[in-house]
Amino acid sequence: MMRIDDMKIIEHQSIAANTFRLVLEGDLVNEISSPGQFVHVQTGSEAHLLRRPISISEFNQETKQCTLIYRAGGEGTKLLSKKQAGDKLNVLGPLGNGYSLPEQASSCLIVGGGIGVPPLYELSKQLTGAGHHVTHVLGFQNKEAVFLKGEFSELGLTFIATDDGTEGQKGYVTDVIEQLNTAFDIVYACGPTPMLRALQSRITNIPLFISLEERMGCGIGACFACVVKQTGNEQNYYKICCDGPVFAAKEVVI
């Protein structure tokens, strides 16, 4: 159930170039039902009325805490990065539909790009906890932008790709995937649209689930600001904020 909560900031720190880890505490966490959901955060400035959508990287309902990882790129998120432990943050959520876990034991490939990596961490934790085998391929611009490498490595084999080759393999996540001599049963991905489009064109023989990144207005499906065309009928659209953000790749035209 969606709710609005004034959540307490427990931790807030920089973990990579312009990237921050924010730990929040509040009753809203009890409503989170699946990895891949997100929240809409109020930055606290009258000059920035629209909330900022941020994916949930990790949550623990026993402690009522959740972790958000975001990039401070625009004025709103830069303002958010100035918040300190002990401050309150007005949060709307949880929003959207997340990832579903396989019913049978599976070999899973998780593919993340940039700020699309965070929601995949909770997904990987739940997959490994349920007995699935997980491999991660994560892409970043450069070494300074890499985060959660150690955390993912504790859950399964982890490969890093960077645009300039300063960390891991130089190139794209698709370059790494092509070199893996492994058969997978299912693929989960989140990242920039060009990355998702490349995966969609290459992975056609096994299920591929993708989480779409998009600018949002209301976050609850009322404003139609975030839409994606439906496969088979491009006159119809899904609303990413409430129909997604996670879709079977075969369902959408990206």
13 to 10, 19, 197, 214: CA distances (angstroms): 10, 9, 32, 25
pLDDT in tens, 188-238: 999 999 999 999 999 999 999 999 987 777 777 788 788 999 998 878 999
The answer regarding whether domain 107-211 maps to CATH 3.40.50.80 reads: yes
CATH architecture, domain defined by 3-95: Beta Barrel (2.40)
**Res. 51: pLDDT tops 90:** no
Partners of 41 in the β-ladder = 52, 91
| CB-based contact 57:121 (threshold 8 Å) | yes
Q: Tell me the Cα Rg of the chain.
A: 17
DSSP annotation string for 1-68: --EEEEEEEEEEEEEETTEEEEEEESGGGGG--STT-EEEE--S-TT--S-EEEEEEEEETTTTEEEE
The string of pLDDT tens digits covering residues 71-129 is 998 888 999 999 999 999 999 999 999 999 999 999 999 999 999 999 999 999 999 99
Model confidence band, residue 49 (pLDDT cutoffs 50, 70, 90): low
Q: Which ranges in the chain are annotated with CATH 2.40.30.10?
A: 3-95
Under the banding of pLDDT at 50, 70 and 90, the label for residue 46 is low
Q: pLDDT tens, 160-188?
A: 999 999 999 999 999 999 999 889 999 99
**pTM tops 0.75, yes or no:** yes
Locate CATH 3.40.50.80 in the chain.
Answer: 107-211
Q: How confident is the model at residue 239 (pLDDT cuts 50, 70, 90)?
A: very high
State what percent of residues in the chain have pLDDT above 70.
Answer: 98
With bands split at pLDDT 50, 70 and 90, how would you rate the model's confidence at 47? low
Name the range with the highest mean pLDDT among 33-47, 120-134, 232-246: 120-134
* CA 92 distance to own-chain centroid: 17
Counted residue by residue, the chain has a size of 254
